[in-house]
Chain A
């Protein structure tokens, strides 16, 4: 088994509108090891969710398509696979949970039926065994009255319960990779704490690799081993979680961390980043962050910065760190 469960290289995804191709992801690189939680952070419009949809190849009904790059999952390149080959992997070896559990559960099917659908399809279990498996899964995510819940409909459950059902469904076939796209954003803090604890427990028990997509740096600090920071469709910094919060390198990461109000430090004025994320149709030349960056130099407005390896565990795409003695892999 290769060391990496997932390795995304030079991923470029675009949408077509009015016969014009608009590139949203412009070269995304990162990887996830077995049993590792990697946080994918950035503001709205940075391409976090599209990265996850690209990995799952969920473009149905849109003009989205991968135009360049590779996505190696357990050693196989997903971009070269046919839809039917991907269907065998999706839901079995890699699964996804979404932000809004109500819109991703089918409102007219009972919970048990929805859970058993995936189990019957991928694990090829007979009906009574798959029902037993479904109940087991619900219990493992902390749903006490699992035997009754399987006969209920999604609208009868609370938000936290629905998210537990989604996690049970995603974990039902013991995937190697779980992609969680803002899994707790719609939940209250006390329920969020329950769901985060649950995800940690599942990771430890099954060695599932988790790609956690979130805008909440608190959740990242709490959960992740490594962090990938995205801005305008590119990875701008990648680091170990402790390194990232202790000494962020990229000015965007610095700004992001400084903007978060922290309980206990009595700052009168919060730091903020001027301006806003550029739209994909109006991307600036050079570094995409340069117009908002307070350390921008003239070269930043002309040329895109290369990715600089700062140490074995971290890299950053910023001209500030391009020195003659540092190896540049452009």
Chain B
């Protein structure tokens, strides 16, 4: 792949959920085996339902938490085992945008401090120089200089998400991890933010790791997609192939479940029965077999391996050739 900005291999994370000194320790595997790569200037999306491990994967890559196993190569450097002192450089290259713009901005800081804070940490610029950059950045995200002296609560949800983007962008990162960045916004505002993210990608050649449960949004913004279920990627490939020819039964059901905003396209859906299993007690074999309409004996016993089925698509299912 030309100029890969991020390469994740066999990433694993387990959290201890019970036990201690005298009790048996219990673990939950939030991320079991995740591998993917992001090219410079492209968007890779992780989709899946709650509890599938997509957000944990994002937090592992920013090293907000340390992986149990596996490798994370950001811009040519291994960071999975990096020491805290080495992480400072990583945080300049990789920035994050969060779902809740209300909770992720400090209510006691003025906009110019909020947006300028990363510069204070990562650069040796003077206050005047920092403010100049902040004002430029506000323009870039569609706000203006008069907003610089206000506090976060004076802004609407969409504007706050713009502030979050400005704050992430100001260190000139190469990769932005956007964890459900538009889920809390109304549709008319959501489209403004999606357009902004796309425009910034073209201007600054940023790569995005986009984490979302909303397939319509993912289809709009991504180049590549990884579909996650209970801690593992079950299908991965180019956006067009994933949406036009989904191979894994879970991907098929997921795409079929999305309500389309056009009543003439009402259709009988493939409704998956049952709930998402508890990750504490994942099913044996293929973790999807409890809900899969095509499951047979082999699915209960053996974990399907990820196989490349064509140049643009890999699937982990026993029944896909």
Q: Which of B239-270 contact A (CB under 8 A)?
A: 243, 253-266, 269
- State whether A189 and B254 are in contact (beta carbons under 8 Å apart), knowing that A43-B187, A221-B262, A272-B189 are contacts in the complex: yes
List residues of chain A with CB within 8 A of the CB of B264: 242, 245-246
CB of B198 within 8 Å of the partner chain: yes
Q: B255, A263: Cβ atoms under 8 Å?
A: yes
Q: A218, B195: Cβ atoms under 8 Å?
A: no
List residues of chain B with CB within 8 A of the CB of A222: 259-260, 263, 266
CB of A296 within 8 Å of the partner chain: no
**Docked CA distance A271–B258 (Å):** 21
**Docked CA distance A242–B273 (Å):** 29
Q: B188, A190: Cβ atoms under 8 Å?
A: no
CB of A269 within 8 Å of the partner chain: yes
List residues of chain A with CB within 8 A of the CB of B262: 221, 245, 262
Q: A190, B49: Cβ atoms under 8 Å?
A: yes
CB of B158 within 8 Å of the partner chain: yes
- Per DSSP, chain B at the interface is helix
List residues of chain B with CB within 8 A of the CB of A259: 187-188, 190-191
**Docked CA distance A218–B187 (Å):** 11
Determine the residue in chain A with the shortest Cβ distance to B196. Answer: A272
Residues 197-239 of chain B, each 1 if its beta carbon lies under 8 Å from chain A, else 0: 0100000000000000101110110000000000000000000
Residue of B49, B264, B271 with most partner-chain A CB within 10 A: B271
List residues of chain A with CB within 8 A of the CB of B186: 43-44, 215, 277
**Docked CA distance A174–B187 (Å):** 34
List residues of chain B with CB within 8 A of the CB of A190: 49, 253-254, 257, 271-272, 276, 291
CB of B50 within 8 Å of the partner chain: yes
User: How far, in Å, is A204 (CB) from chain B's closest CB?
Assistant: 14
* Interface bracket on A: 35 or more
- State whether A215 and B187 are in contact (beta carbons under 8 Å apart), knowing that A194-B272, A264-B243, A269-B195 are contacts in the complex: yes
CB of B284 within 8 Å of the partner chain: no
Q: B269, A193: Cβ atoms under 8 Å?
A: yes
Residue of A43, A215, A222, A264 with most partner-chain B CB within 10 A: A222
Q: A161, B275: Cβ atoms under 8 Å?
A: yes
User: How far, in Å, is B243 (CB) from chain A's closest CB?
Assistant: 6
**Docked CA distance A257–B266 (Å):** 16
Residues 245-279 of chain A, each 1 if its beta carbon lies under 8 Å from chain B, else 0: 11000000001110111111001111111001100
Question: Can you spell out 13 A-B residue pairs with CB atoms less than 8 angstroms apart?
Answer: A190-B276, A193-B271, A197-B271, A218-B260, A221-B261, A259-B188, A260-B216, A262-B260, A263-B219, A272-B189, A272-B192, A276-B156, A277-B186
Q: Which residues of B contact A (CB under 8 A)?
A: 49-50, 156, 158, 186-192, 194-195, 198, 213, 215-217, 219-220, 243, 253-266, 269, 271-273, 275-276, 291
Given contacts A193-B269, A264-B219, A272-B192, 9 further A-B contacts (CB under 8 A): A43-B189, A190-B254, A215-B187, A221-B263, A241-B263, A263-B216, A263-B258, A263-B260, A272-B195
Kindly list the 10 A-B residue pairs having the minimum CB-CB distance in the complex, ordered from nearest: A218-B259, A188-B49, A270-B191, A273-B188, A261-B220, A43-B186, A272-B191, A193-B257, A217-B261, A259-B191
